[in-house]
């Protein structure tokens, strides 16, 4: 939960407005505030968390939602997978 300086909850629409203003000020491509959940899930996996750990972290009841909707494979992850496979087959 996010709060104002006086400790009152910030409404979701206010947070979205603030986020959109920050995006505009930073002059970066527009994304939805919710897209940060996808980024967070992917970064957690890239850092080495298991899919189950990310599922719990995001509060999903189904690991399928986490894996199919929120987790994305980055170029770095593809490279690491290729290296792992190369090590495996060269034994």
Q: What confidence score (pLDDT) does residue 17 get?
A: 93
Q: Are residues 84 and 47 part of one domain?
A: yes
Q: Are residues 45 and 72 part of one domain?
A: yes
Q: Dump pLDDT digits (tens) for 30-88.
A: 999 999 999 999 999 999 999 999 999 999 999 999 999 999 999 999 999 999 999 99
Q: Are residues 54 and 20 part of one domain?
A: no
Structural domain boundaries, residue 7: 1-31
Q: Are residues 21 and 1 part of one domain?
A: yes
Reduce the DSSP state of residue 6 to 3 states and report it: coil
Q: Are residues 18 and 58 part of one domain?
A: no
80: its two tokens: 């690491």
Q: Are residues 71 and 27 part of one domain?
A: no
* pLDDT tops 90 at residue 12: no
């Amino acid at each position: 939960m996010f709060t104002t300086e006086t400790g009152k909850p910030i409404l979701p629409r206010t947070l979205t407005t603030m986020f959109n203003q920050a995006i505009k000020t930073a002059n970066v491509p527009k994304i939805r505030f919710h897209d940060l959940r996808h980024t967070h899930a992917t970064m957690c996996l890239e850092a080495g968390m298991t899919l189950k750990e990310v599922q719990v972290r995001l509060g999903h009841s189904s690991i399928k939602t986490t894996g199919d909707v929120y987790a994305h494979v980055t170029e770095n992850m593809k490279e690491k997978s290729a290296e792992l496979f190369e090590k495996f087959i060269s034994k």
